[in-house]
């Protein structure tokens, strides 16, 4: 009788082990499916957001830029400004969403119309920016701001190549991390590195265009 029990036990354990292993695999599969889904979702969010902006209901500064189409540097810039506004508003959750969105728009940036040297630089910028944007999509707000600093540099370098039809301002906060810059459509200082803690810290460094 006890032999029968232990045999049953062994069979049960073998079953559990196999299930555990297959779970491990299916978890990975699930993850990759989720990954696809979130990509798709962010695509939807994207179009929604563009819509919100064109309505002019945005709570940050006016981002009434003429909307660039899919895969353009104007689309990246638009997403960047939205992300900046979320950080200005100390909104961690929104910045996460927008981090995922700008990762997608950077990834979709079409570089085919540039010279080979420009293509190489842009690809480099894109690779770097996507990584920082992905980190922003999954971090607390302090980390988001750290990554936003480098993302700002990437976006600035992108604009130096692609240009933009709007006038941008490079603003500079001398206090954050030994001095940090960001881009804005407006001269008005609204600091994304400190948010409400030090909203007015910063100065106009340069006008772009």
Partner 1 sequence: MKILKIIAIILLVAFVGIQFIPTERNQSDTVPPTDFMLVHNVPETIQNKLQVSCYDCHSNNTQYPWYNKVQPAAWFLEDHIKEGKAELNFSEWDSLSSRRKKSKLRSIVKQIENGEMPLDSYTLIHKDAILSKDEAEEIIGFITQLKNSL
CB nearer to partner 1: pick between 27 and 197: 27
- CB under 8 Å to 151, separation ≥6 — which residues? 80, 83, 102, 129, 132, 133, 136
Considering only 46, 84, 96, 132, the residue that binds partner 1 (CB under 8 A) is: 132
**27 near partner 1 (CB under 8 A):** no
Q: And the tokens for 99?
A: 């981090």
- CB under 8 Å to 136, separation ≥6 — which residues? 83, 95, 96, 98, 99, 102, 143, 144, 147, 148, 151
**127 near partner 1 (CB under 8 A):** yes
Q: Measured from the CB of residue 50, what is the shortest distance to partner 1 in angstroms? A: 29
**128 near partner 1 (CB under 8 A):** yes
Provide Rg for the chain, Cα atoms. Answer: 23
CB nearer to partner 1: pick between 12 and 33: 12
Q: Measured from the CB of residue 21, what is the shortest distance to partner 1 in angstroms? A: 6
**9 near partner 1 (CB under 8 A):** yes
Q: Measured from the CB of residue 200, what is the shortest distance to partner 1 in angstroms? A: 26
Is 70 buried (19+), middle (13-18) or exposed (0-12) by CB count in 10 A? middle
**74 near partner 1 (CB under 8 A):** no
- Largest CA-CA distance found in the chain, in angstroms, rounded: 87
Candidates 16-24, 31-39, 81-89, 193-201: pick the segment binding partner 1 (CB under 8 A). Answer: 16-24
Candidates 41-49, 62-70, 125-133, 193-201: pick the segment binding partner 1 (CB under 8 A). Answer: 125-133
Considering only 52, 124, 188, 203, the residue that binds partner 1 (CB under 8 A) is: 124
Name the nearest CA neighbour of 144 among 96, 207, 179. Answer: 96
Are the C-beta atoms of 100 and 38 separated by less than 8 Å?
yes
- Binding-site size, partner 1 (CB under 8 A): 22
> In what helix (H) or strand (E) does residue 183 lie, and over which residues does it extend?
strand 180-184
Residues in touch with partner 1 (CB under 8 A): 2, 5-6, 9-10, 12-14, 16-17, 20-21, 24, 124-125, 127-128, 131-132, 146, 150, 154
């Amino acid at each position: 009788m006890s032999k029968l029990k232990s045999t049953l036990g062994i069979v049960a354990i073998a079953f559990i082990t196999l299930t555990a292993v297959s779970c491990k695999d299916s978890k990975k599969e699930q993850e990759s499916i989720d990954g696809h889904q979130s990509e798709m979702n962010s695509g939807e969010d994207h179009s929604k957001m563009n819509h919100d902006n064109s309505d002019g209901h945005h709570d940050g500064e006016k981002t009434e830029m003429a909307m660039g189409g899919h895969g353009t540097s104007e689309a990246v810039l638009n997403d960047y400004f939205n992300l900046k506004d979320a950080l200005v508003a100390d909104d961690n959750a929104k910045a996460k969403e927008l981090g995922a969105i700008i990762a997608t728009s950077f990834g979709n940036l079409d570089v085919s119309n540039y010279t080979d040297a420009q293509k190489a630089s842009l690809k480099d910028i894109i690779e770097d920016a996507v990584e920082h944007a992905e980190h922003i999509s999954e971090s607390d707000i302090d980390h988001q701001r750290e990554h936003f600093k480098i993302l700002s540099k990437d976006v600035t370098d992108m604009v130096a190549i692609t240009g933009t039809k709007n006038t941008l301002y490079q603003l500079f906060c001398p206090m954050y991390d030994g001095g940090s810059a960001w881009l804005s459509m407006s001269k008005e200082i609204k600091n994304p590195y400190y948010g409400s803690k030090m909203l007015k810290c910063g100065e106009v460094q340069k006008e772009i265009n």
